[in-house]
Amino acid sequence: MSLDAAHSQSRMVTASGRYSPQVSGNRWMVVAGHPLAAQAGARMLEAGGNAVDAGVAAGICLGVVHPDMVSVAGVAPIIVHLARPRKTWTVSGIGGWPRAARVEFFQKRCGGQIPPGILRTVVPAAPRAWCAALARWGTMSFAEVAASAIECAERGFPLSEFSAMQIQANQERYQRWPTTAALYLPGGRPLRAGDRLVQSELARTLRTMAGAEAKARGRGREAGIEAACDAFYKGEVAAAICAYHRREGGLLTPEDLADFQVEVSAPSTSTFRDIEVATCGFWCQGPALLQILNLLEPYDLARFGHNSPPYLHLIAEAIKLAFADREAYYGDPAQVKVPADGLLSKAYAEARRTLIGERAWADMPPAGDAYGLGAVRNGAARAVPSVEAAPNVMDTSYVAVVDAEGNAFSATPSDPSVDSPVVPGVGCVVSPRGSQSWLDPDHPSAVAPGRRPRLTPSPAIAFKDGRLLLPFGTPGGDVQLQAMLQVLLNVVIFGMRPQQAVEAPRVASRSFPDSFWPHPSFPGRLLVEGRITPDVTNPLADLGHAVQTWPEWEWRAGAVCAILVGPDGTLTAGADPRRASHAIGW
C-alpha cells in the first residue's frame, strides 16, 4: 500500500461521527494514533518482526506523521510483555532536567514562570527508549524499524484532518519561533488537511542514526543500534541541539545528553479482582490508575449500571482521591522518596475509601497517609481554587502491538510541536516536558538538576488469570488515566468489545492541579461528553459535581487504543474515532 493510499484511510469519523468496524485476527494486531504509524508497525510484522520491532517502528513514525502531538526527540514511556519467558518490563522514556536547571533560576530569571520555549527542555528520552527496547527485545535493526518514518519525512505525507485542525487552532503559538513557523506555516498560512508535509531535516536526523548503525554493522545488531543512539546523544544531532541552546540561552549541554540513560525495570502492578494491571513507575502518573482500581474493587459496579449517575459519581470521587495522592507523593523515585508500597496496598485503599461519600468533594480531597496507611495525611491540604484558564495543551499519541507469539508492546510517545521551537539541524522540537514540573521546592516534582518531571503519558497492559488480556493507552494529559479506566471497566465489567468500549461516552474530573504549567485547578469540575444525557448529568449536579458538557465526540476526552486477546488467542482491536486512530490485524 502506498503512503497516499494509507492516508486515505485516516478519515476515521464518518458522517455519523463514528468509526464502528472492529478489526480482528489470530496472528498479530497493531493499533496506533495515526494510520501511517499503524502501517509502519504492520510492515515489520509482515516482514517477520516481533511486537517490539513493530511498536518501535510505529512509535518513531508517530513522531513524523503526528508532529502536532509527538516528537521524535520527545518522551516515550514503554511497557513490553514477553510471552516466553513470561516477563513484563518498562522503559522510562522521560529525561531529566539539565544540570544547570534550578528552581531559583526560573524564579529569578523567568519571573517565577516555566516559560514556553527551550527553557522547558529536558533531556530527550524517546530515541534512547526506542533503541533500548529494540536492542533488548527486538529482532531488527534501527534502519529497518525507522524506514517508514524516514520515507514519510523525506517524501512527505498528506496531513491528517486532525493534525491540520490543531495547527490551525494554534497558529499564533506556532508563529512564536521562525523555525517552527517555516515548517508548519509555510508562506504564512497553516498547513491544511491533505497538504504534503516534508520534513527534510528530520529525515536527515534519522538517516544520520541509521548511517552510524551501518558503520558499526560488523560488531553485531545490538552494537549497531547503540551506535545509532550515540549518533543522536553524542554525535552530529547532539552537536546541533547544544549549539542551538548555546545560541538561544538554553540550558542543555553535551554532558547532559551524553550521560543520559533510560531505566529498564519491572512495572508497577496491582490486581482488580481477577485482573492484574501493569503500568510504568511513579516517575509518571501511571500508578494512579492502580490506586483508582484498588478503591473501586469492592463495589458491585455492574449493579450501578453503565454510565449511571451513581456509577459516574463513584468513578469521579475515586479519581479525586488517587490524584490527591499523585499531587502529594508522585515524583522521580531516583531523587524523591515515594511510598510506593503504601500507595498501592489494599489496606491503604480501604482506609481512603471511607472518604467516598454520597456527596461530591467540592475540591480535591486531602492526601492520605501512605506511610501509616491512614485516610488523611496529617496536615494535608486540599487543592487551592484557581482562577487561571486551563492551559491549551496539545499532548500525545499511543501505539499497542500483539504478535503471533503473544508478545505485547504498549507505548505512549509524546511532546507536541507547539510548546518549543523546532531545532535547526534536527528538524523537530526537543522535549519541552519541563512544563510538567513545579517551582515549589517542596513539591515532589519540583525542578531540580537531573530530575525527571512527573509524566502524564502512561501506557498500560492488563492480564487475566496470568494471560495477556489488554494492552491499552491513550493521549489526553490528565484525562489519560480517566479514559483508560473507563475503557477497561467497559471491557471487564460490562463485557463490551474493544471498539464499543472506546466509543462509549466518557467523563473526566478536573478537580486537582493540572499537570501542565501553570497547574490551574478547577474544584469540583466534571466534564461530560454530550452523548451523556440530562437524565444523568442533572443528578450528578445534584450530588455536587460542577458539570460542564463537552461536544458529543470530544478529542480532549482521550483517544484510547486497545487490543483484546481472547481466551483462544483471537485479537480484537479498538481504535478511538475521537482522533485519527487506526488498527491493522492479520
Q: How distant is the alpha carbon of residue 25 from its chain centre?
A: 26
Q: Does domain 289-391+480-585 have CATH number 2.60.40.1930?
A: no
Q: Are 529 and 503 in contact (CB under 8 A)?
A: no
Q: What is the pTM of this model?
A: 0.95
Strand segments (E) across 133-224: 157-158, 196-197
For cell 515532589, name the residue. 444
Distance (Å, whole) CA 522 – CA 384: 9
Q: Which position among 396, 412, 456, 474 bears the catalytic label?
A: 396
Report pLDDT for 382. Answer: 64
Is 253 assigned a catalytic role? no
According to the model, what pLDDT value does residue 378 have?
86
State the pairing for strand pair 23-25/571-575: antiparallel
Quote the strand ranges of 162-290, DSSP E.
196-197, 264-265, 268-272, 275-279
CA atoms in the 13 A half-sphere facing the CB of 307: 21
Q: What integer pLDDT is reported at residue 25 of this predicted model?
A: 53
The domain spans of the chain are 27-264+405-436, 289-391+480-585
CA distance 109 to 319: 36
State how far the alpha carbon of 82 is from the alpha carbons of 42, 88, 512, 576, in Å: 19, 6, 36, 26
How far is CA 139 from each of CA 89, 93, 148, 232, rounded to the nearest angstrom?
Answer: 17, 20, 17, 21
Q: Which portions of the chain are predicted below pLDDT 50? A: 1-24
> Angle at which helices 236-248 and 221-233 pack, to 10 degrees?
20
Cα 201 from Cα 170, distance rounded (Å): 23
Helices and strands in the chain: count of H runs, count of E runs: 21, 19
Which grid cell is 458? 502512561
Question: How much helix, strand and coil, in percent to the nearest 5, is found in the chain?
Answer: 40, 15, 45
Q: Confirm if 355 and 468 have CB atoms less than 8 A apart.
A: no
